[in-house]
A = this chain, B = another copy of it.
Amino acid sequence: MVTIKDIAKAAGVSPSTVSRVISNHSRISKATTIKVKRIMEEMGYHPNVMAKSLVSKTTNTLAIVLPRPAEELFQDFFFGELLRGILAHSTKAGYDMLLAAATSPTDEQETISRLVLGRRVDGVVLLSSRQDDPLIKMLADHDFPTVLIGRTEGHDNIITVDTDNVQAAYDATTHLIKQGHSKIGFVIGVPNLTVSVDRLEGYRKAMQQAGLAINPEWIIDSEFLQQSGYRAMSFVMNIPERPTALVVIDDVTAFGVLRGVTELGFSVPNDICLISFNNIALSELASPALSSVDIGTYQLGYTASHLLVRRLQDNASSQIRNIIPHRLVVRESSIKDNQKRG
C-alpha cells in the first residue's frame, strides 16, 4: 500500500507537504502542488481513511439504525423508498452509510454503542417505531447527532422527520365520508407502533367530527403482514353491521384485504371501498388500483439525511420537528363505479 510517506519521498518533500497538497492548503506553491499530484497519480495513491479519521475525529459516515423487528420492514417497498431517499442525499453530501441491524435486543444496544461510542459514525438516522425506544434515550443522553424518522417526546436534541399521521388518516377518512360512507372501518397494524396509534386517532377524529358513530367491531386488529389482512376479512364481512369502506394501515395490508374481499365474493369498490397509506409503486397496478395516501417516502429519507448532515456541518440547530407533507392519491378502490361521473 502506498502511503503519504512514499509520495513524500518520491517527490522529495515532507509528508506534511503532501498532506497539505491533498487538502489544498493555501501556502503550497503551484509547482509543488503539480509535482506532488502527478506523483500521487503515478503511484496510485489513495488516502487511508482510518488514519485520517483517527486524527480528525470524524468518519464521514452515517449509520441507519433499524428497529429490531426489521424483518417486516424489508417486506415493504416503503423501506426501499426510504433507503433510496436517504442514500440519494448522503451520497451527494459525500457521506458513507452504514446499515446497522440487530438480531436480538441485547445485541442491538451493544451494536449501537460500538458504532456510536466507538466513534465509528458521525451521526445516525434512526428508524424507530416505538416512541419510548431506549435507543432514543441513549442517543439523546450522549447528545449524539441523531435524526429520528418518526416521533418522540421530551428530547430536545433529537431531530425528527415525520408524516403528520393523524392528519393523513383524517384526510383519508374524510375522503371516504365525502363519498357518502358512514360505516367506515379501520384496519390497524401492529397496535403499539406510533404510526398505528396516530392513524387510528386521525380516523377517530374525522368520524367524530362528521358526527358518525364507530362500531368497535370495525376496528380490525391486523398486522403489517399482508396475510393477516386477508384473514381479517372473513370476519369483518360477516358482522351484522358491515362497514362499507375501510381505511387500511398500509398498502401491503390493503393488498391482502383486497384479495380477501374479492375471494369472499365481494367487489371493491362497489361493495366496500378501500383507502390505504404509503402509495407504494404497486398500488396503481392492483385491480382495482388502490387509492392511497402518499406520504412522500423518498422525501422523508432524503430530508432525514439532509437534516443530519446540516446538524453535523453547520452545527446550526435545525428545526427539531419536521413534517413532510402528504397527499391523497385517489384511484379506483375508493370510488364506487356509479359515482365515477356523478
| Stoichiometry, copies per complex | 2
CB-CB under 8 A for A84 and B71, given A50-B59, A53-B50, A226-B281? yes
Return chain B residues, CB-CB under 8 Å to A107: 91
> Is A310's beta carbon under 8 Å from chain B?
no
Residue of B nearest to A80 (CB): B74
CB-CB under 8 A for A256 and B285, given A80-B76, A118-B48? yes
CB-CB under 8 A for A98 and B101, given A81-B74, A84-B74, A281-B226? no
> Quick check: A87 and B99 within 8 Å, CB to CB?
yes
In the complex, what distance in Å separates the CA atom of A81 from the CA atom of B252? Answer: 15
In the complex, what distance in Å separates the CA atom of A219 from the CA atom of B246? Answer: 41
CB-CB under 8 A for A255 and B282, given A48-B119, A54-B54, A113-B46? yes
Return chain B residues, CB-CB under 8 Å to A144: none
CB 8 Å contact bits of A70-111 with B (1 = contact, 0 = none): 110111110111011001100110001111111100010001
CB 8 Å contact bits of A275-291 with B (1 = contact, 0 = none): 00000011001110100
> Quick check: A119 and B80 within 8 Å, CB to CB?
no
In the complex, what distance in Å separates the CA atom of A3 from the CA atom of B77? Answer: 42
> Which A210-259 residues sit within 8 Å CB-CB of chain B?
226, 230, 252, 255-256, 258-259
> Quick check: A114 and B46 within 8 Å, CB to CB?
yes
Q: Chain B's nearest CB lies how many Å from the CB of A257?
A: 9
Q: Which residues of A pack against B, CB within 8 Å?
A: 1, 44, 46-51, 53-54, 59, 61, 64, 70-71, 73-77, 79-81, 83-84, 87-88, 91-92, 96-103, 107, 111, 113-115, 117-120, 226, 230, 252, 255-256, 258-259, 262-263, 281-282, 285-287, 289
| Interchain residue pairs with CB less than 8 A apart (17) | A1-B119, A47-B118, A50-B53, A70-B87, A74-B81, A74-B83, A75-B77, A75-B281, A77-B80, A80-B80, A87-B99, A88-B101, A96-B98, A97-B99, A230-B285, A255-B282, A287-B287
